[in-house]
Amino acid sequence: DAMVIQNPRYQVTQFGKPVTLSCSQTLNHNVMYWYQQKSSQAPKLLFHYYDKDFNNEADTPDNFQSRRPNTSFCFLDIRSPGLGDAAMYLCATSFGRTNQPQHFGDGTRLSIL
């Protein structure tokens, strides 16, 4: 029944080694979001795709990139992970230009060695 699916749930990578996190959805929502949540903090928006249009938050580091090859999938790429990038990464979806709620996946917890 999961509608926003994130794989894997846990990811370990080495300092400086590129890593990709994935998100898929079965809701056919046109907007997909990526949030970062560090330990004991609230989620923080990194960027979102409105259809094929990429929208970056002003304070999102250049180290973070995203790809959306089709409606159902979205990827988060971290080009050179640092120790400060260890966090839970949450994917969410919604219908744009409505007040319908966002639907979240259960996140990928990223650890950096």
Partner 1 sequence: DAKTTQPPSMDCAEGRAANLPCNHSTISGNEYVYWYRQIHSQGPQYIIHGLKNNETNEMASLIITEDRKSSTLILPHATLRDTAVYYCIYYNYSGGGADGLTFGKGTHLIIQP
Residue 76 binds to partner 1 (criterion: CB under 8 A): no
106 binds partner 1 (CB under 8 A): yes
Nearest to partner 1 of 42, 83 (CB atom): 42
The rounded distance, in Å, linking the Cα atoms of 99 and 97 is 7
Distance CA 3, CA 5 (A): 6
Contact 91, 103 (CB under 8 A): no
Kindly state whether residue 64 participates in binding partner 1, applying the rule CB under 8 A. no
Check residue 100 and report its DSSP letter: P
Residue 92 binding partner 1, by CB under 8 A: yes
Q: Does 68 bind partner 1 (CB under 8 A)?
A: no
Structure tokens at 1: 């029944």
Answer whether 106's CB lies under 8 Å from 5's CB.
Answer: no
Binding region for partner 1 (CB under 8 A): 4, 6, 31, 33, 35, 42-45, 48, 50, 55, 57, 90, 92, 94, 96-99, 101-107, 109
